[in-house]
Chains A and B, each alone.
Chain A
Amino acid sequence: MALLEVNQLSIHFGGVKAVQNVSFSIEAGIVYAVIGPNGAGKTTLFNLITGIYTPTSGTITLDHESIGGKTPNELAQRGVARTFQNLQICLNMSAIENVMVGAHLRLDRNLFLAALRWPAIRARDQALRQEAAELMRFVGLQDYLQARADSMPYGALKRLEIARALAMKPRLIFLDEPAAGLNTKETQDVDALVRKVADSGITVVLVEHDMKLVMNLSDRILVLDYGKKLTEGTALEVRNNPDVIAAYLGAHA
């Protein structure tokens, strides 16, 4: 049963056809990677599915519901989470608060009750703080429980975004280049983390350039080039596909 189905999806920015007639489907519970050279349209594809952009044509269906053109917060309500290639961390807040924000939709957001220090809200907040701390440990940030976001290194912030996404208790999580800018050791940590996330039952879709990571982790891979779908298949199928090799992998394997 496909969780996410994308059909003939396209978006044009003026004359630039960033994504053209891309179709694929993602089963629930797998790790699905989207790869391709720079400029192939991977992040644009993410932005389309997560509501940042509106498609020019084509459909996106999540669990039989059409979601093309829905706003990011509507998608959040449907259990879709994502992280960003260019970090979007709230540097004005502490690390743990960033994670707590992820649980936004699960809490009572009433302004008046909050101002009055309503006990139910306080209690839930305490519980949430514990949960957020747990999530930070889960992603390996146990050293930063008391830290402010603006004092954390880049690698830690990338994992913080993942923790925030997990706080949404999503069923589908989009990771946009989770290993970008990380060294070998950090990349291995991300590899292990993504594995953990996938093992917990969340469907993971990732964009990544690090081929070792992609080949290790993914159940299926979509290859994009110049906004079009080049091919799709298992890791083995993709790495042996001559078109892919020609367009992208070159001598690497």
Chain B
Amino acid sequence: MLAQFLQFLFSGITVGATYALAALGFTLIYNASNVINFAQGEFIMLGGMLAVYFTQAGLALPLVLVLAIALPALVGVVLEKLAIEPVKGAESVTLIIITIGASLVIRGLIQVWLGKGAYSLPAFSGDVPLQFMGATLMPQSLWVLGVTALVVLGLWYFFNRTLHGKAILATSHNRLAAELVGINTNWVLFMSFALSAALGALGGILVTPITLTSYDVGVMLGLKGFVAAVVGGLGNGLGAVLGGLLVGILEAFGAGYISSSYKDAMPFVLILLILFFKPRGLFGGRSTERV
């Protein structure tokens, strides 16, 4: 009983960490530009797929990691420069569709280049499962959780203690005001996309040894990451992390205790329920419209 519960909890937290990273990515970009980046999921996919490619090309793990994070970050920046900056201030729908188009382009290119197969990565520290109170834990899960925790801490420090981080936060609260005090908001936008892509890619790499990767994993991962970000209250970093974990855990429990074929539906049922009772997500603030 307990073993099963723990099993679900572990797998839930593990996949939840990936969602958390994706959700953070959404949040970063949303805060910097009010854009919902539907291509976020593709960054996750890129991380995993590129890691596989470079590993199979024979490169050592550290180099693989660097490339598989830096390249998606580059893609993120290109996306921002080519597709978002030119249309600054456009309607939500327009921006959403642009990012959807971008996600299609990225996915299509990978499909053409690397095919439709599913791939895995060797786990970072081996395959021997660990036993904990009757439940099995893959060492890779610990990597996922550990690295995610470090990243979240790092981001917290960055945003709250460094000038650059605070500049980004300031821009998210009031772009005009930030510009007026000398913050380079274009740089903020640029950094947000790069950082957000890197986060997504990192999540993708970490989780590939457990869940495999292929050209189309980005769609569901991205959508669920979006759900997580909205659950936590769009724009709220802490909410994004908690939202990601919550979505992962509920998905695992739902799949385990209720029905595994409806696993993918769980996050969306969750989001509908949450939004109906808390229209701005769990941690989203109340706001009044000034007229």
- By a beta-carbon cutoff of 8 Å, the part of chain A in contact with chain B is 13, 43, 47, 52-53, 84-86, 88
Contact = CB atoms under 8 A, between A and B. Distances in A.
A86 B288 contact: no
Consensus secondary structure, chain A interface: loop
Interface in B272-288: 288
B288 A85 contact: no
5 contacts: A43-B291, A52-B291, A53-B288, A86-B290, A88-B291
A85 B291 CA distance: 7
The 8 closest A-B pairs by CB, nearest first: A84-B291, A52-B291, A47-B291, A86-B291, A88-B291, A86-B290, A13-B288, A85-B291
Interface string B102-140: 000000000000000000000000000000000000000
A226 B151 CA distance: 47
Contacts of B290: 86
Interface in B247-266: none
Contacts of A47: 291
A86 B290 CA distance: 9
A88 B290 CA distance: 11
Contacts of B288: 13, 53
Contacts of A86: 290-291
A84 B289 CA distance: 13
A88 B291 CA distance: 8
Nearest to A53: B288
B286 to A, nearest CB: 10
Interface string B147-181: 00000000000000000000000000000000000
Nearest to A176: B291
Nearest to B289: A52
Contacts of B291: 43, 47, 52, 84-86, 88
A222 B201 CA distance: 62
A43 B290 CA distance: 10
A176 B288 CA distance: 19
Contacts of A13: 288
Nearest to B290: A86
Given A43-B291, A52-B291, 8 more contacts: A13-B288, A47-B291, A53-B288, A84-B291, A85-B291, A86-B290, A86-B291, A88-B291
Contacts of A84: 291
A52 B290 CA distance: 10
Contacts of A85: 291
Nearest to A86: B291
Nearest to A13: B288
A42 to B, nearest CB: 13
Interface string B71-106: 000000000000000000000000000000000000
A223 to B, nearest CB: 23
A76 to B, nearest CB: 15
Nearest to A14: B286
A11 B290 CA distance: 15
A88 B288 CA distance: 16
A13 B288 CA distance: 10
Nearest to A88: B291
A52 B288 CA distance: 10
A113 B214 CA distance: 52
A52 to B, nearest CB: 6
B226 to A, nearest CB: 28
B189 to A, nearest CB: 27
Contacts of A53: 288
B288 to A, nearest CB: 7
B40 to A, nearest CB: 30
Nearest to A82: B291
A84 B290 CA distance: 11
A13 B289 CA distance: 13
A52 B289 CA distance: 9
A86 B289 CA distance: 12
A88 B289 CA distance: 12
Nearest to A84: B291
Nearest to A46: B291
A53 B290 CA distance: 10
A13 B290 CA distance: 13
Contacts of A43: 291
Contacts of A52: 291
A85 B289 CA distance: 13
A235 to B, nearest CB: 28
A56 to B, nearest CB: 13
A193 B57 CA distance: 79
Nearest to A85: B291
A204 B288 CA distance: 27
